[in-house]
Every structure is written in C-alpha cells, then in structure tokens.
Structure 1
Amino acid sequence: MTSPVPSRPARRAAARRGRAVLPWGGPDPQAARRAAVRSALAPLLAAHRAAFPAGDPRELCRAYDVAERMHRGQLRKSGAPYVTHPLAVAMILAGLGMDTTTLVAALLHDTVEDTPYTLGEVRADFGEEVAVLVDGVTKLDGERWGERREAETFRKIVLAAAADLRVLVIKLADRLHNLRTLDHVPEHKRRRYATASLELLVPFAERLGIHALKREMDDLAFAHRDPAAHAATAAAMRQALLGADAVFGPALRLLRGSLAEHRLDAEVSVRPRHLYAVHQDYAGDVAGLRPCQAARVLIVVDGGEQDCYVALGAVHAALHPCPGRVRDYIALPKFNLYQALHTRVISPDGDPLDVIIQSRAMRPVAEHGIVAHIRAAGADTAGTVAGRRDLVWLSRLLAWQSDATSAAFLDGLRIDLAGGNIAVFTPAGDVVALPHGATALDFAYALGTETGAHSIGALINGRLAPLSAELRSGYVVEILTDPEGSPTPDWLQVATTAPARVHIQSWLSGRQTEEAAALGRHRLARLLADHDLDLLTAEAHGTSLSIARDLGFTEIDDMYAAIATGSLPLDALLPRFISP
C-alpha cells in the first residue's frame, strides 16, 4: 500500500521542522542533510550575520558539509566528533568579525592534514583564496620532516602570513580552542603545549594586537603550565577585587566630576587585569594583592586624539599624578598600532592607580588589532605586509628567516617574540622597535645587514658608545661604520636579536668556508706541483670544475674545502688530475 502524497504546504512545514520528504512521501536525504547542516551552523551563521548582514551563508554551509563528511568517524580526545573543533575555530573568528572566506578556511583548516581531502580539491571546490589560507595553517608531514617539523611549520606559517595575514589569525583561533580543550590531554603534554603557546603563539597575538585572543590564551596556557600558580593568582585576584568598590569608588567620582568640568563626555570604568599579566608583574608573589594591583581605570572619551590629552589633564587635576609615569602611545603608537595614554595617579586613600585613556575610535584596535584594520578596509588588506608600519617586525622576520637553520629559526623566533619592546630613534627621527636588552649592534642590524656587518661603534644620544651598549626606549642612536669592518666571533656575545645573530653566524660560516677552501686549494696545488702539474692550468681548462662536479660538488671551492677538512683525501684525488 502506497502512502498518500503529502501536499506542498505539508512538505514545506516538514522541511521547516527538519523532516523533509519527497513528493511521493519518502524522506528526502539531501533536504534532511541541508537541514542538519543549517541546524549545526545556526550559531555561526548568526554570529557572522551580526558582522556581515548581507553575507551569503551558502559557502559556510558547503564548507561545513565537506568538513563534517571528511572528519566523520574522527573523534577529539574528549570523545566529541572532530568537526566540533573547526566549527569552534570558525565561531571564534566570527566573534572577531572576520570575513566569509576566513570562516570557510577555518572550517576546512584540518581537512588536508587529517583527511583524504586534498589541497587541489579545496582549490577546485572553494577557490584559490581559501586554498592559500588552508595550506598556510596545515602542518608539515612529520614523517618527512622529523624533528624539523615544528620549526619548519612555523616558518611556513610566517611565510604564508606575508601573503595573507589571515593565516596567522586562523592559527591563533585554532590554538585558542585547543587550549580550551586541553584538559583531555596527558599532563606532560599539556605543559609542553602550554609552554610552546606562551613562547610562540601568544607573542604573535601580541604583535598583531589581537588582545581579545591574547588574554584568554595567556591565562589558559598559564593554567596548564603551572596550575598551582594559576590557582593562587586567581584566588588573590578574587580577594583583591572584593575591595575594588571601596578603593576605586571615591577616585571614579572625582574623575567623572573633573571630566565633566572639562566638558568631556567619557565612560569611566574599572577593568580587571588578566591573571598571567598579574603573575608576571609580581613574579608569582601575589599574597596580599591589593585592588589597585588587580585592576586599572579605563576612560573612553567621546572625541578625538586632542580630547584624550584634555582628559589626561582632567585626570591629573582630579588626582595627584606620579612623576615619570605618563606613557604617550598616541603620539608614538606601539608596534601593533595600539594607541592610548597611560598614567599613574594617587587615589584619595593613597593607593597608586593606573589609568588608561582612549578614544572610542581607538578601542577596536586596542582589542582586535590587525583584525580591526582588515575589517575596516576589507579582506584585500590581508594581502601583504609591505609598507605597514604595524608589521615592520614581520618584515624583519621574513628578512632573516631564510638564512637560519630549523633549530636556529625556532630559537631565534622565541627570542625575537619574547618580552616587550623598546622604541629607539635614528637621527632622522625614524622609530626602530627592538626587544628589551637589545644592544647598539642589534640596532645596526635592524637598519640593514650591510650596516650591521660594517659597524664599528655608535653615537648614543650624541655620545660615543661601543656596539655592546644596551639601549633604552627614547635613545637616539647613530651607527658608525667602516667599509673594511666585518663581524668577529665575539659579536655573538653582544648581539641578542635573532636577525643580528643569524647574519653574524652566516658571515662567520662563510668566512670559515673561504679559509678552508684557500687551505685545501693550497694543499692540492702543492701536491700537483710535486707531480709537475699546474693547478692554475687545470682551473683555466675547466678540469678542476669537471672533477668537482663528478665528485658531487657544486663549486670548486666546495671541493677545496673538503680537502681541508679531510673528508676528501688528496691521494684519491690525484689520479683524476693525472688522467682526467
């Protein structure tokens, strides 16, 4: 007995309820599948629609459908279906307001690495732009790269970011979700993963100015790397913030009154600090943490940059300022284009309070960094780092990475990303960002490889100083050079930045190779002379190069260097010159 054919309104109603049927009464697998995809994607589609009201959800649905099919049967360590991970990564990015292409790539970001789905299929199904993003975040094959896999994967990500910064943003969202779900991983692996996150990924979030991700990544990695210290800091913060109203209340009233007197419309609030920052600032000694150490005052001004300076005057009129504690990041933004005025004042009760002043236009950049710029100007701005003042650090990283071995690259990357930065000036007024502890030699290499290689000294604030002199923010530095100058081995004890160290090591290695080649050539020439043969004649006729190529050397000097090191015995080489 056949079932009656449902009416069209009945079929539509069933589809809305997720129970699509065919005209003859049977279930419609494709319609049911589409309904299931829509249901799973509902939160993502809603978040994306909030940032892109006119966005087309069909590409997201297609991408999720592929990801779900490809990852079907794969489970996370928690036991959850694997597709929940790329979906969560896409949700994080949607919360940042990233574009459709980025979300599609996020949904597919593990397919090439963990499923039979190939990069060629990504390109054919979703286009070149998505393929570039997916390829950028795909780890290299462990069997092929072995111990070099981690270093070369990071090198690949950095190179991909030069083409499209969204690669780094996806990688950060991927790491954040992995940190959120790290409880299901064995403890020793958690600690290692958390440490790598703090050393490599969190600094990338800082460099890109994406503090909305950085703060959570900081605290999650801190919790997994040092659970006891994290718990102690969290407890100290909770206790300190219980007294926040009593400490901050009188100060906020005075600040609001002074801002009103200066005819400024501004929002004044208390902003708790994140745990890892507190732990770092007080070196883990958080016993007796005070409210003024656990939070800061944030003033968001309705107006432009000039109004921020007026607000600074209003703050200092209301509360006594601490000398030397004003930091102007509006006139001189941080390397990630963060802008604000920072000051420290004394509360009515005598507590030192840190105050941050920003305009409303500065807030998106303060929270989302490069993402705010990508959102404001469209995805095309993700293309290249060239000329971006906020990405000079990435341009420098790209400049030295090609000369570094895998181990040197990873170590250099950790050093280059570690800690804060100082702003040092050239005599022309250009700003050079360097890590804390950088020397005049590091500054010289930051200006260029040739400047660094030929540097012989420096003028710091007009006074002669050695290349080993440590620099401070605000210093004006001029590098003195000599065309005959060159690196020496002791420079490796002076240089602290990765670009300087890599270039110095490269130069020294090249010099050693030249010296070895000269020594090997001398030995070979002497041996040939004993047999009435002339090496110059053999070189002029191409005999030396031919023999070198036959032995697998690209250049003659490589063969000569092998003679010097003993890896190519002269006795084995002589017959080739006697009977070429």
Structure 2
Amino acid sequence: MTLVQSSSSGRAAPSRPRRRASRSDPGPVQAAVAPLLAAHGYRDAHELRRAYAVAERMHRGQLRKSGAPYITHPLAVAMILAGLGLDTTTLVAALLHDTVEDTPYTLGEVRADFGEEVAVLVDGVTKLDGERWGDRREAETFRKIVLAAAADLRVLVIKLADRLHNLRTLGFQPPHKRERIARASLELLVPFAERLGIHVLRQEMDDLAFKVRDPEAHAGTGAALAAALRVADGTFGPAAARLRGTLAEHHLRGEVAVRPRHLYALHEELDGDVAGLRPHEAARLLVVVDGDESDCYIALGAVHAAMHPIPGRVKDFIALPKFNMYQSLHTRVIGPAGDPLNVIIRTRAMHPVAEHGIIAHLRETGDPAGTMAGRRDLAWLSRLLAWQSDAPSAQFLDSLRADLTSGHVAAFTPTGEIVTLPVGATALDFAYTLSPETGEHCIGVLINGRPARLATEVRSGNVIEVLTDPQAHPTDDWLGFATTPQARVHIQRRLSHDSAEEASRAGRDRLDRALAERGTDLLAAETHGESLAIARDLGFDEVDRLYAALDDGSVALDDLLPRFLPPG
C-alpha cells in the first residue's frame, strides 16, 4: 500500500477538503462503479455508489506504484469479494478499507456515514500505527486481525482479498519488497485462506507468490502444465466418457469435468521436477453428483467398477471432513489408456463449500458475520484465540506460522469428538488442544486403549484418553516435545509463573530470617500492609515482585532492611 504522495508520518496527505462526497459528479462515479454493481446483481446500488464516492474523494491525488489512481485498489478488492458473493456491508467496507489508515478520514466518520457494522470491518483491517508500535507493528496488526475475525469473519476475508490484489500488482514494487510480501503471503495469508476453505483465493495467491519467489520455476511449471493439457484429451476424454456411462448405469445424475492442477501445488508435489509432465499428473477428474452423501458412495462404487482402483488410495473426506469442512471422496484408478487417474467425487451441495469454504456457509446461513459457536471448521480459530494473548509480540508471528501449518492429523476423544492437530503433534499437544487446564494437569494418556508417553506422536484415527491429576503441573522437559503454539505458550507461562513463585519464596525467606535476627516479625508487617507500602514505594506493584527482586539481587538486603526495622 505504498503511496506516491505521503507525509512524514507515512500517512497520505491529500490537499483537499475533508467533508462528504455528496456533491461529487455522479457521472464518473456511476461509470467507475458500474462493474461492481453488475457483479453484485445491482443490489444496494445507492450505498455502493456513496461508499465509492467517499473513497475516491479521500484517496484523490494518491497513486499506486503502477501510476494508477489509488482508488483502483479498493475497487478491485470489492470486485473480488463481489465475485465471491459477499454481502453489501462487506463490499462497502472493502471500498473504504484503506481510508482510515491512509487518509484523514476517521473511524468516527466511517461510523457516522456508514454505520457501526462497516466501521468494525474497516477498523479490523486497518494496520496499527508504525510510529507507535515500531518493530511490533506487523505482529500486533495480525493479532488485531485475528481478534477482529473472531467477532466477524468478514475482516479476514477482506484482508485476503486485499492481499490477493496486492499480489496481482506486485510487479510494480521493488524486488526486496516483492520478496517480503510474497513470503509473508505464503507463510500467513495463504494458510488463513486454507483454514477458511476459500480455495479459489488460496490457489491464486499460491501461484502469484510462487511467481515472485521463483520466477524461473513458475515459468517452467506453467509451460509444462500447458504442454500436458494440450494433449490431455487422449487421456481424459475416454475416461470421462466411461465415467458418464457408468453413472447412468447406476441411475446417478451428475457432471464429469477435468480440473487442471494449480501451478504451486504441482511444483510442490513433484519437488520441482516437471520435465516431461504427463497429462494424468496435470489434472484430475471431478464428479459432481445430484443427490446426497449416499450417492457419492454409489458413485465411488461405479467408478471402481468402470476402472480398476489402486489399492490404498481412497480417502473419505465425507465421513471425516477436513478441518475447514471440505467434503469429497478421493480415489485413484487406472484409466482406459493405462494411466493412473485421480478422481474426486462430491455432491452439488458440497461443491460450493469445496471451492469457497466459509464464504459458502455465510451465504447459505444468512449470517454474514459468521458465528463461531459450535462450528467445528472454526475450532482452529478458537484455539488460536486461547493462546494468542499470552504470546509476546516477538513470539507471536512465529507461533502463528506454526499454528497455521497446512498439514494435519485427525484424532478422537473417547466420546468421538474430532480433534485436528498439525502433523508431528504429540499426545501432550492433544491434551492442551482439549483445554489449557487438561494439558497442565495431564500425567499420561491412553492411545487406542493402551498406555503411552506424552511425547508419543499422534496419528490420524488415534483414540486418545488423557489422564489428569489436579496436583500435576508442567515440567521443563515438556518443552522438548510440545510442538503446537497453544501448548508451548501455556507451558512457558506456567513455568515462568512457577519460577517467579520460587524466587518470591526464596526472597521472602531470606528477608524473614534477617528480620527475625533483629527481633522484627515480617508476617506482622505483611498483615498491616507495611510490606505492600514498601514494595510500591520502591516501584513494585506486588510484594511478591519485591521478594523476587531480593532473590535475584536487583534489590540489596542491606538497603531493604532499614525500611522494615523500627526507627532508632
């Protein structure tokens, strides 16, 4: 969001009056906003025109690195969101999302002009002031976004659309900034899109960041994919025809389509070796059936009857959905030409969720903000909220990157509750995922009914029962095998607390002995509030902190004793 015209504070400095855009010429506004109105089905046209007029006036005179007027960016972000079917409030917030950060327009004015709901969304995506937060700005801005998303998921969706458009125009940025933005996108924003199941955004962001980080590999993968798809009809044409026939034989109605892979996923899967890429590696067959879940299993049987299945390659994401509620059946078969083909089967109702994730749920439920209560696909966000407040800025981004790891395993509690964890997570991580209290007091686990160590790595399908003792607490060695941020942050906090308590006890014992030798009772001083008064006089908000300072030597015993002893 670098601006050509800016003040010394880094905020935009447009030379124009700041009041309303109500007198703006409607002609240019109408023409500029027309594609957005069309994408939104011409709903709430007046409100969108009004938001665009305000945003255009406030950003007037500001330019993008490309030389284009800055208003082209918020308009493009709103267009992305309109294409996904988001509501009017989200589009208005998208048009205004940079005004508070980069123009004199205030959050109070947003609230007065467009209401509280829009103001909350704009505030959620507004970066924190760099002068105030310094090196902590990026970490605390992401923490702010996470907290805002917990109240309204649209904050995160706007942020993703904002980053997508910035990636589309990244070529106008200097090389060092392109690399930084691309890396941050792959490490933080793409995983957020994955967690929310918005695959159409994730895939494009993946590929755009890939193009910046490794342009040669991106170009090579693109050329190999295009070459493979040019001759794909010979591989997929007969297979698709056979699938359509077998669906009809099993009295199923549906569609069969060829779905090309996206570049970054293909590059990662083949470890960059795309030379001689074959058609069956470049695409997959998608079967979308008209019916319910049971029809997917009938379709799976039909596929296996028509083409020989490869053993062990069936994945059932219907009975056990992914953490973002993605549902489909995946299988691999030998096609008519002898090639191994990947086939995906889902219902028509599953398809929007597979493509748009949480956005499909927001559209279907009529709850544009998206509530977290009882949603399994948002359990990851609940866990993130549980540990984020205890993570200092320096640790927060690293912990967030780890928590957003794309790979995952799904384990079960004895009552059948599904718990998703990153690959490599241990039984101790499982305990902390259930709750911080369960983790803190755990003493062992039963995995599939057998005793196991807390350091045991969790596998998909494990049934894990956590054994607890109210008197148990974390030990230093737990940090050697706890892998999730939630577990590590809580363990470190408890260990620090225990260490501080031990230091406080040691310091108090030392002071108590010294005073007793001089005929003074420390307990009496504490009872009458004298100890607290002395602590605060020395700059400590609690007596325990004073005692800990005495133990570590930052307060000298000889300097402290006179304050407790009677005069003379």
Question: TM-score, normalised to structure 2's length?
Answer: 0.94
Moved more, 227-236 or 181-190: 227-236
- For residue 553 of structure 1, what is the amino acid of its counterpart? F
1:174-223 deviations in whole A, cap 9, x for unaligned? 00000001001111211111111011101111111111111101100111
- Residue equivalent to 1:214: 202
Q: Deviation above 4 Å: which 4+ runs of structure 1?
A: 29-32
1:419 deviates by 2.4
- Residue equivalent to 2:62: 74
- Select the residue among 472, 492, 511 that pairs with 2:479: 492
2:566 and 2:53 map into 1 onto residues whose CA distance is 69
Alignment of 1:530-541 (within 5 A): 530-541=517-528
Is residue 178 from structure 1 mapped to residue 170 from structure 2 by the alignment? no
Is residue 187 from structure 1 mapped to residue 179 from structure 2 by the alignment? no
2:460 and 2:417 map into 1 onto residues whose CA distance is 13
Name the SS of the counterpart of 1:418 in structure 2. coil
- Residue equivalent to 2:11: none
- Residue equivalent to 1:197: 185
- Residue equivalent to 1:92: 80
1:483 and 1:377 map into 2 onto residues whose CA distance is 42
1:19-70 deviations in whole A, cap 9, x for unaligned? xxxxxxxxxx977711111111010011011xxx5x2211111111111111
Contact 1:269–1:298 at 8 Å: present in 2 too?
yes
Name the SS of the counterpart of 2:472 in structure 1. coil
1:451 and 1:329 map into 2 onto residues whose CA distance is 29
Contact 1:77–1:184 at 8 Å: present in 2 too?
yes
Is residue 306 from structure 1 mapped to residue 294 from structure 2 by the alignment? yes
- Residue equivalent to 1:561: 548
Kindly tell me: are residues 216 and 452 of structure 1, through their superposed partners in 2, closer, same or farther at Cα, counting changes over 3 Å? same
2:480 and 2:365 map into 1 onto residues whose CA distance is 44
Name the SS of the counterpart of 1:234 in structure 2. helix
1:305-340 deviations in whole A, cap 9, x for unaligned? 111111111100001111111111112221111111
- Select the residue among 466, 473, 495 that pairs with 2:460: 473
1:296 deviates by 0.6
- Select the residue among 487, 491, 516 that pairs with 2:503: 516
Alignment of 1:132-531 (within 5 A): 132-378=120-366, 380-531=367-518
1:415 and 1:561 map into 2 onto residues whose CA distance is 34
- Residue equivalent to 1:43: 35
Moved more, 382-391 or 82-91: 382-391
> Number of aligned pairs?
547
**Unaligned stretches of 5+ in structure 1?**
1-28
1:483 deviates by 2.6
Is residue 575 from structure 1 mapped to residue 562 from structure 2 by the alignment? yes
- Residue equivalent to 2:94: 106
1:526 deviates by 2.5
Contact 2:362–2:370 at 8 Å: present in 1 too?
no
- For residue 303 of structure 2, what is the amino acid of its counterpart? V
Contact 1:155–1:401 at 8 Å: present in 2 too?
yes
Contact 2:154–2:368 at 8 Å: present in 1 too?
no
1:31 and 1:177 map into 2 onto residues whose CA distance is 30
Name the SS of the counterpart of 1:486 in structure 2. coil
- Residue equivalent to 1:120: 108
1:36 and 1:30 map into 2 onto residues whose CA distance is 13
1:513 and 1:443 map into 2 onto residues whose CA distance is 27
2:143 and 2:22 map into 1 onto residues whose CA distance is 42
Name the SS of the counterpart of 1:382 in structure 2. coil
1:489-536 deviations in whole A, cap 9, x for unaligned? 111111111101111111111111111111111222233234332211
Question: TM-score, normalised to structure 1's length?
Answer: 0.92
Percent identity, aligned pairs only, is 73
- Residue equivalent to 2:10: none
1:89 and 1:32 map into 2 onto residues whose CA distance is 22
Structure with bigger gyration radius? 1
Contact 1:44–1:94 at 8 Å: present in 2 too?
yes
1:227 and 1:523 map into 2 onto residues whose CA distance is 65
Kindly tell me: are residues 486 and 32 of structure 1, through their superposed partners in 2, closer, same or farther at Cα, counting changes over 3 Å? closer
2:510 and 2:527 map into 1 onto residues whose CA distance is 18
Contact 2:87–2:368 at 8 Å: present in 1 too?
no
1:579 deviates by 5.4
Name the SS of the counterpart of 1:458 in structure 2. strand
1:282 and 1:502 map into 2 onto residues whose CA distance is 36
Contact 1:142–1:149 at 8 Å: present in 2 too?
yes
What RMSD over aligned residues (CA atoms) do the two structures have, in Å? 1.5
1:349 deviates by 2.6
2:221 and 2:559 map into 1 onto residues whose CA distance is 69
